[in-house]
Amino acid sequence: MKMLEHYLYKYFSYTTFKEKQQEIIEEVMTKRNVFAMLATGSGKSLCYQLPALINEGLTIVISPLLALMENQVQELKQKGIKRTAAYNSFLSFKEKKYILSNLSSYKILYISPESIQQHDVLYQLAKQNISLFAVDEAHCISQWGHEFRTDYLKLSNIRDVLGAPPCLALTASAAPEVQNDILQQLQLKDPVIFCDSIDRRNISIEVVPASNEEEKKKVLIDFLNVLPMPGMVYVSSRKKAEKLSIMIKEETALTAFSYHGGMTQEDRNLIQQQFLEGETNVICCTNAFGMGINKPDIRFVLHYNYPKDLESYIQEIGRAGRDGFPSTAILLRSNEDKIFPRRLIENEFPAENQINEASIEIEKNAQQKCSEQFLMERCGFEETHARFFTHYWNEWHNHSHKLNEVKEYILKIIDKRKGWKFTKLKQMEEWIWNDDTCRRKRLLEYFGEKQLTKPEQCCGICGADPLKKERHIKKPSKNMTWKDRLASLFHQCS
């Protein structure tokens, strides 16, 4: 298709497509539904941007973060593509109104799953000719949709209201069952599926045992003293992020900052910017940091605490070495860590007694629908729990099932979801604590891939990593500290 290349040059001044881009775009142009799992940096956004500009009508892009939308719009505008906008709460009433009453003059509209549900918005959009319904970072559907941001589960209904335009779902990591979940939630009929390998061959993979928190701190500092910079340290809580960044500043010569969702937007922007510009060596963060971060030269990603599933893990380590140069993923494991992720999962769901209480309260008030506000004010629900409960309550009622069984339905959902989440956590932990098989191989297997050839610097089990090789081949003398061992090794290698 010479035509595509013509438009590629016209709008983006590129002369050639990256791998798979062209095939995906061709399928999108034929109005097929497409699911594409592409490594970060492989030009996912172009897959909807180019068709959006060529086709008649409006392309809607569902995006999980306001910052992502803003970046994308800005980038497009810099390329001279002006007929694009992000519709979200950053806008004033006037701006929102302007966009809604001029929808036909836009080619691409970025919007969150929450905003698109708003009555006005949906009403106006439904009157448009929607050429494509794109879902960016589609793993959010599976990762966030069921509990945290249930509006993600409503996307297939939204798409129906919009006249069922063709859909393109894009993500960087989804194991087969997550993929199925996404396809099912979006109700994609007969989709074309593209999958890149998730293998990042320039990233070597390490798991380092530590018997307790004290030892982990020590190992962390030892690593930081020898690892090339910059890098990221993932932790599980906000407080830990702050404490570790202070510790690193005190005990090393490095600059370190923390980053988490509890900080103001200004602080987050500032710290992110400093890191992107190379002014910070180490960033200690929760899982708030990452999506949309495109820093090419991150040399290591160190997990001080491990995430709840291998999808998150692969996403997080994938932030290292985007420039293709050798990089390292290190995970510090300690038995003490096992409690925290379990607590997090439990905490995602309202407690059974709350559910009982809420059901009684709602019936007492003879309400057909329950509202989040009611649950928070009358039943003491947290916001996310209230939204979770409301979503499934309404879902049940919309399908006009027996009213008295809604409580059992919600309890069943919770049971099922906890089961799913604990299974994923178990798979993560099995991967961490299995010291027999190549870590890369097991990771690939989880994502339904077969390992073809191993990179030279594969993983700690394969003994390919210089850090690991030293530890395994030469049994270190007892008096030697981690620091000495690593330092001597690095001097040897360089």
Among 143, 171, 185, 281, binds DNA (CB under 7 A): 143
Piece in contact with DNA (CB under 7 A), picked from 76-84, 271-279, 341-349, 359-367 = 341-349
In order of 201, 242, 282, 285, 469, the CA distances from 237 in angstroms are 30, 9, 17, 8, 32
Minimum distance from residue 238 beta carbon to DNA (Å): 3
Minimum distance from residue 401 beta carbon to DNA (Å): 26
Minimum distance from residue 282 beta carbon to DNA (Å): 17
Q: Which is nearer to DNA, 184 or 347 (CB)?
A: 347
d(CA 143, CA 153): 11
Q: Which is nearer to DNA, 343 or 491 (CB)?
A: 343
User: 286 to 305, contacts with DNA by CB under 7 A?
Assistant: 286-288
User: 38 to 67, contacts with DNA by CB under 7 A?
Assistant: 64-67
Does residue 340 touch DNA according to CB under 7 A?
Answer: yes
Q: Which is nearer to DNA, 21 or 272 (CB)?
A: 272
Q: Which is nearer to DNA, 379 or 467 (CB)?
A: 379
d(CA 121, CA 416): 33
Residue 12, CA atoms < 13 Å, CB-side half-sphere: 23
Does residue 115 touch DNA according to CB under 7 A?
Answer: yes
Closest CA to 197 of 8, 448, 10, 458: 448
**DSSP labels for 187-209?**
T-SS-EEEE-----TTEEEEEEE
Among 55, 71, 118, 128, binds DNA (CB under 7 A): 118
- Angle at alpha carbon of residue 247, lines to 244 and 252, rounded to 5°: 120
Q: Which is nearer to DNA, 114 or 215 (CB)?
A: 114
- DSSP-derived 3-state class of residue 372: helix
Size of the site for DNA (CB under 7 A): 43
Q: Does the CA dihedral 352-354-355-356 come out positive or negative?
A: positive
Q: Does the CA dihedral 276-277-282-283 come out positive or negative?
A: negative
User: 228 to 257, contacts with DNA by CB under 7 A?
Assistant: 236-239
Minimum distance from residue 335 beta carbon to DNA (Å): 9
User: 370 to 389, contacts with DNA by CB under 7 A?
Assistant: 383-384, 387
Does residue 119 touch DNA according to CB under 7 A?
Answer: no
User: 419 to 458, contacts with DNA by CB under 7 A?
Assistant: none
User: 146 to 165, contacts with DNA by CB under 7 A?
Assistant: 147-149
Piece in contact with DNA (CB under 7 A), picked from 10-18, 282-290, 448-456, 470-478 = 282-290
- DSSP-derived 3-state class of residue 214: helix
Does residue 359 touch DNA according to CB under 7 A?
Answer: no
Residue 399, CA atoms < 13 Å, CB-side half-sphere: 10
Q: Which is nearer to DNA, 149 or 439 (CB)?
A: 149
Count the neighbouring beta carbons within 10 Å of the beta carbon of residue 415.
11
**253 burial level (CB within 10 Å; 0-12, 13-18, 19+):** exposed
Among 13, 15, 16, 92, binds DNA (CB under 7 A): 92
Minimum distance from residue 258 beta carbon to DNA (Å): 10
Task: Judge contact between 248 and 254, C-beta under 8 A.
Answer: yes
Residue with tokens 């109104």: 97
Task: Judge contact between 317 and 329, C-beta under 8 A.
Answer: yes
Q: Which is nearer to DNA, 55 or 88 (CB)?
A: 88
Does residue 213 touch DNA according to CB under 7 A?
Answer: yes
Task: Judge contact between 362 and 389, C-beta under 8 A.
Answer: no
Among 31, 97, 189, 412, binds DNA (CB under 7 A): 97
Residue with tokens 């959006």: 52
d(CA 342, CA 421): 9
- DSSP-derived 3-state class of residue 114: coil
Q: Which is nearer to DNA, 311 or 465 (CB)?
A: 311
Binding site for DNA (CB under 7 A): 64-67, 88-90, 92-94, 97, 112, 114-115, 118, 143-144, 147-149, 213, 236-239, 260-262, 286-288, 308, 336, 339-340, 343-345, 347-348, 383-384, 387
